[in-house]
Amino acid sequence: MTVNERRSRAIFDLLFSSPQWNFSGSLPMALDPKFGAMLAMPGAQLERPPADVTPAMMREGVRLRASPLPPVPVDEVKNIRIAGPAGAINVRLYYPISVRPLPLTVFMHGGGWVLCDLGSHDNLCRSLALASNSVVAAVEYRLAPETKFPGPLEDCYAALTLLVARAASLGIDASRIAVSGDSSGGNLAAALALLSRKRKGPSICFQALMFPVMDASCSTASYVEFGQGYMISREIMQWFWECYLLNPSDAQNPLAAPLRESTLVGLPSASISTCEFDVLRDEGEAYADALREAGVSVISRRYLGMIHGFMTLPYVTEVADRAIADIGGDLAGALYRPR
> Is residue 134 among the annotated active site residues?
no
Question: Which one, of 209, 234, 227, 212, lies nearest residue 326 by Cα?
Answer: 209
Dihedral, 198, 201, 204, 207 alpha carbons, nearest 10: -50
* Catalytic member of 278, 282, 326, 330: 278
| Spatial contact of 128 and 324, defined as CB atoms under 8 Å apart | yes
3-state secondary structure the chain: CCHHHHHHHHHHHHHHCCCCCCCCCCCCCCCCHHHHHHHHCCCCCECCCCCCCCHHHHHHHHHHHCCCCCCCCCCEEEEEEEEEECEEEEEEEEECCCCCCEEEEEEECCCCCCCCCCCCCHHHHHHHHHHHCCEEEEEECCCCCCCCCCHHHHHHHHHHHHHHHCHHHHCEEEEEEEEEEECHHHHHHHHHHHHHHHHCCCCCCEEEEECCCCCCCCCCHHHHHHCCCCCECHHHHHHHHHHHCCCHHHHHCCCCCHHHCCCCCCCCEEEEEEEEECCCHHHHHHHHHHHHHCCCCEEEEEEEEEECCHHHCCCCCCHHHHHHHHHHHHHHHHHCCCC
Query: Does residue 31 form part of some domain?
Result: no
Domain that holds residue 209: 64-335
CATH (domain of 169): 3.40.50.1820
- Which amino acid, 149? F
> Is residue 278 among the annotated active site residues?
yes
**Number of domains comprising the chain:** 1
The pLDDT of residue 11 is 34
Query: Does residue 138 form part of some domain?
Result: yes
Q: How far apart are CA 166 and CA 150, in angstroms?
A: 24
Query: Does residue 1 form part of some domain?
Result: no
Q: How far apart are CA 324 and CA 306, in angstroms?
A: 14
The pLDDT of residue 29 is 52
Query: Does residue 142 form part of some domain?
Result: yes
Query: Does residue 141 form part of some domain?
Result: yes
* Catalytic member of 269, 308, 326, 330: 308
Query: Does residue 59 form part of some domain?
Result: no
The pLDDT of residue 217 is 98
> Is residue 183 among the annotated active site residues?
yes
The pLDDT of residue 28 is 46
* Catalytic member of 8, 134, 180, 183: 183
The rounded average pLDDT for each run of 10 residues, N- to C-terminus, in the chain (339 residues) is 40 33 44 91 88 94 84 98 97 98 98 97 98 98 98 98 98 98 98 98 98 98 96 97 97 98 97 98 98 98 97 94 98 94
